[in-house]
Chain A
Amino acid sequence: GAGVSQSPSNKVTEKGKDVELRCDPISGHTALYWYRQSLGQGLEFLIYFQGNSAPDKSGLPSDRFSAERTGGSVSTLTIQRTQQEDSAVYLCASSFAQGVSTEAFFGQGTRLTVV
């Protein structure tokens, strides 16, 4: 597609439920990022996929969070047993991993509200 697409754009879920957030990166981009942006906070790195390498999961806040990237394209971020503190905007970005154009392109985000 023309840009990074995230779905859903908004998600309201009850505390304790699992949620899945989807990201469709720009075609051909080998690097994919997930970030979290809470109200009034900066960008919190969650996870980074680059090609076929093992993902950098160093930013995942707990073992309730996981992500996968199937076929080197679409990625899903899963949050199990959601808590109220998980409420935030979850941002996905993609980029070329190497070369002179490694800037990341961001999607519009998924606003997650845990009630």
Chain B
Amino acid sequence: AQSVSQHNHHVILSEAASLELGCNYSYGGTVNLFWYVQYPGQHLQLLLKYFSGDPLVKGIKGFEAEFIKSKFSFNLRKPSVQWSDTAEYFCAVNGGAAGNKLTFGGGTRVLVKP
């Protein structure tokens, strides 16, 4: 079955530390990849997306993600986090063998200590 896996459920780090969140999917074919963020008390919003082209995509708030097709991965990174990056982050995939339905990973809660 098609699935999306996020390896870290909880991440705690200090301001200015670097962040990397893992995401792997099990779909075949050409996929579209997304990272969503949910800040405390707010609704889910798109952080960045990959459809084609340069596998390194840049999103809002200094986030970037790299699509590595051979590893079925789409890891999210930020070189230097801020307290305001405290949120839950979700990886999502559609396309390929799964069709258009968007499937989410289990999410990673990130706590940035001031």
Contacts and interface: CB of A to CB of B under 8 A. Distances in A.
Contacts of A31: 100
B100 A103 contact: no
Interface in A77-102: 91, 93, 95, 97-98, 100, 102
Interface of B is mostly: strand
A102 B90 contact: no
Interface string A11-49: 000000000000000000001010100000011010010
Given A42-B90, A43-B90, A100-B51, A106 B104 contact: no
Contacts of A98: 100
Interface of B: 32, 34, 36, 43-46, 49, 51, 90, 92, 94-95, 100-107
Interface of A: 31, 33, 35, 42-43, 45, 48, 50, 56, 91, 93, 95, 97-98, 100, 102-109
> Of residues B32, B102, B103, which shows the largest number of chain A Cβ atoms within 10 Å of its Cβ?
B102
A102 B95 CA distance: 9
Contacts of B92: 104
Contacts of B36: 106
Contacts of A33: 101-102
A106 to B, nearest CB: 4
Contact of A45 (B44, B46, B103, B107): B103
